[in-house]
Chain A
Amino acid sequence: MRIRWRSPIRGPWLTSVLGLVLLCTLPVVIVTGLLDWIAYGPRFGQAIPADVGGLHLPVFDWPTRPAWLFRLTQGLHVGLGIVLVPVVLAKLWSVIPKLFTALPRNPLKALERLSLVLLVGGILFEIVTGLLNIQYDYVFGFSFYAAHYVGAWVFVAGFVLHVALKLPAMVRGLRSRSLRAELRTPLAGTRPEPPGELVAPEPDPPTMSRRGALAVVGGGALLLAGLTVGQSVDALRPTALLLPRGRTAPGEFPVNRTFVASGIAPAAIGEAWRLDLGAVRLTRAELAALPQHTADLPIACVEGWSTEQTWTGVRLRDLAALAGVPQPGSAVVESVEAGPFARATLTSAQVLDPDSLLALRVNGADLSADHGFPARVIVPALPGVHCTKWVRAIGFRT
C-alpha cells in the first residue's frame, strides 16, 4: 500500500519541537498523578489501587500545609493533561507516516517499534479514561482508578524507552533549523525539509507555515486552558462552559455526591443524629455550643476541580481532647452513608492542624444536606473525598 503523504511541513524539525514540549510537560502530569496517589493515604490502605508493588513514589504522610496542595497537584494533573491533548494529537500527526512502514526485520528494532504500542496506546488510554472520568461518563465499565494508574506506568515504560532511543534524533532535529528563523518565516517562504525520514517526497504546496502550525497547536492548547481553568478558580467558574464544574445551582458552590445520591434516609440526619466520639456522644446543639473556629479552605476533588469557601465548626483536635485522646496517632471518620468512601482515616497531623474542622456551617449558614449536614470534615490539603460528609462517628486512636 503506497500512501502519498502530502504535508510539506511534516519533518524531523516539527516533530522535534512537539517532542520537546511533551518531554518537558508530560513528566509534570505523571509526577502530579503519582503524588495524588500518595495524597489518598497508602499507609492506611486508602490509596487506590491499594497494592501497586513498587510502582509508586516514596510514600510519605500527606501534609496539611500548604492548604492548597491537593488543589494544586490534582488541578495541574487534570488541567495540564487536558491542555496537552492537542499537542499529543499534533505529535502523532507528525509521525504517523512511520505507522505505515513495514516492521523492521532486525528483532531489536522490531521490539523497539512494538514498544510504541506502550507509548501511543498508553497516552491515548490515559487521555480517554481521564476525560471520561472527569465528565462522569463510566461507559468503559471498569475501575477508573486501577486502569488509569496501570495505564500511567505502561505509558511511562514506553516513554522512557522512546526518549532514550530518540533523544539524539530530537536534538539533531532541533538543531537542523533555527526556531527564531522559522518563527519569522511566512507561508511564502515555507519549504519542505531536506529529504529524509518523515519528509514527503512529493508534498503539496504549503497552505500553512511551520510557525502557523505551531500557533494552531498552541492556540488549541490555549482554548482548552481557557475552557478548563474555570473549574479550579472560583472567580472564573462560568468560563468552564463545557465541564460539569463550570456551573452551580444559584448561590451554591460545587457539590460532589448529592444527598439524594447518598441513599441516606432523611431521618438519619434529623433530630436523632448524634456524633459518636467513643467516650461521648454529642447532639448538633451541643456541638454548636463548643468553641467554634472559622477557616477559609479550598476543597479539591480527583476530577481536578476545586473551590474555596469559608467553613465554621469545631476543631478536630478539640474533639480529640473531648474524646480523651488529645494526641491521637490517627482518627477514623465514619459517615452515615454506606459505600466505598463512607470512612476515611486521618493522620495525626491532619487531626491536630488548627484549621482541621468538623464543619457545621459554610459561608455563614448551616451546611445544606448536599454539602454534608449535620456535619462534615474539612482538612487542609486533604483530597475532597476524604473530607467525609454526613459524619456519624470519629474514632480517635492513640
Chain B
Amino acid sequence: MRAAGALGCLALGAYAATILVRDPTLWPSIPWMLVWFAGALLLHDLVLFPLYAAADRVLRMLPATPVPLVNHVRLPLLGAGLTLLVYLPGIVRQGEPTAIAATGLGQEPHLARWLWLVAAMAAVSALVWVVRVTTRSAAGG
C-alpha cells in the first residue's frame, strides 16, 4: 500500500516531465532545466544553509551585554538576507534590458532602495535595543 503510494507519486512526477517531451522545441532546454532543478537543491542545502548557520555561529561571539545583542543583530541581518535573495535580480540589475523593454523603466534605483531598507531595519533594531537597555536600567536592572 505504501509502496503503491510512493511509486504512484514518482510516476506522477515522471508523467509531468513528459510534458517537456511533447513539445520538440523544448528538447534542447531539458538538460538546462535539470541543471537548475538540481542546482537549486544543492545550492540551498550545501551553500545557503551552511552560510547562514556559520553566520549565526559568529553572532555568538558578540560581547555580552545586559540586554543581549544577538537578536538585535540577527533580525536586521535576516531581513537583509531575505530581501536580497528575493529581489536580487532587480538589485544587481541582471536582466535589465528585458525589464526596460517590458516596463520602460530601468532597475537603477533598486540597489539604493535596498540599502536604505536595510539601514532602516538596522536603525529600528538599534533603537529598540537602546530602549530596552534604558527601561531595564530605569527599572533598576
A residues lining the B interface (CB < 8 Å): 6, 49-53, 55, 82, 85-86, 89, 92-93, 96, 99, 108, 111-112, 115, 117-118, 120-122, 124-125, 127-129, 131-132, 135-143, 146-147, 149-151, 153-154, 156-158, 160-161, 164-165, 204, 207-208, 212, 216, 219-220, 223-224, 227, 241-245, 247-249, 254-258, 260-261, 370
Name A212's closest neighbour in chain B (CB-CB): B71
Residue contact A131 to B9, C-beta cutoff 8 Å: no
Residue contact B95 to A242, C-beta cutoff 8 Å: no
- A99–B36 Cα gap in the complex (Å)? 20
Residue contact A49 to B10, C-beta cutoff 8 Å: no
Query: Which of B49, B75, B90, B100 is A93 in contact with, Cβ under 8 Å?
Result: B49
- A105–B71 Cα gap in the complex (Å)? 41
Residue contact B9 to A96, C-beta cutoff 8 Å: no
Contacts of A142 in B (CB 8 A): 26, 29, 32-33, 36
User: Within 8 Å of chain A (Cβ to Cβ): is B13?
Assistant: yes
Q: Kindly provide the distance from the CB of A120 to the nearest chain B CB, expressed in whole angstroms.
A: 6
Residue contact B9 to A244, C-beta cutoff 8 Å: no
Given contacts A136-B102, A216-B78, A249-B104, contact A242 B15 (CB under 8 A): no
Given contacts A141-B32, A207-B68, A220-B79, contact A108 B6 (CB under 8 A): yes
Residue contact B110 to A242, C-beta cutoff 8 Å: yes
Contacts of B60 in A (CB 8 A): 204, 207
Contacts of B90 in A (CB 8 A): 135, 242-244
Name B18's closest neighbour in chain A (CB-CB): A53
Question: How many B residues have CB within 8 A of the partner chain?
Answer: 63
Contacts of B71 in A (CB 8 A): 207-208, 212
Closest 8 CB pairs of A and B: A137-B95, A153-B16, A261-B101, A142-B29, A137-B89, A161-B9, A157-B13, A242-B87
- A174–B131 Cα gap in the complex (Å)? 36
Residue contact A244 to B102, C-beta cutoff 8 Å: yes
Contacts of B51 in A (CB 8 A): none
- Count of A-B residue pairs with CB < 8 Å: 210
Residue contact A153 to B12, C-beta cutoff 8 Å: yes
Query: Which of B19, B38, B100, B102 is A146 in contact with, Cβ under 8 Å?
Result: B19
Residue contact B45 to A99, C-beta cutoff 8 Å: yes
Name B111's closest neighbour in chain A (CB-CB): A242
Residue contact B2 to A108, C-beta cutoff 8 Å: yes
The secondary structure that dominates the A interface is: helix
- A258–B87 Cα gap in the complex (Å)? 23
Q: Kindly provide the distance from the CB of B85 to the nearest chain A CB, expressed in whole angstroms.
A: 8
Contacts of B87 in A (CB 8 A): 135, 227, 242-243
Contacts of B78 in A (CB 8 A): 216, 220
Query: Which of A125, A158, A242, A247 is B36 in contact with, Cβ under 8 Å?
Result: A125
- A15–B87 Cα gap in the complex (Å)? 27
- A122–B12 Cα gap in the complex (Å)? 13
Residue contact A115 to B103, C-beta cutoff 8 Å: no
- A223–B82 Cα gap in the complex (Å)? 9
User: Within 8 Å of chain A (Cβ to Cβ): is B20?
Assistant: yes
Query: Which of A82, A85, A118 is B9 in contact with, Cβ under 8 Å?
Result: A118
User: Within 8 Å of chain A (Cβ to Cβ): is B113?
Assistant: yes
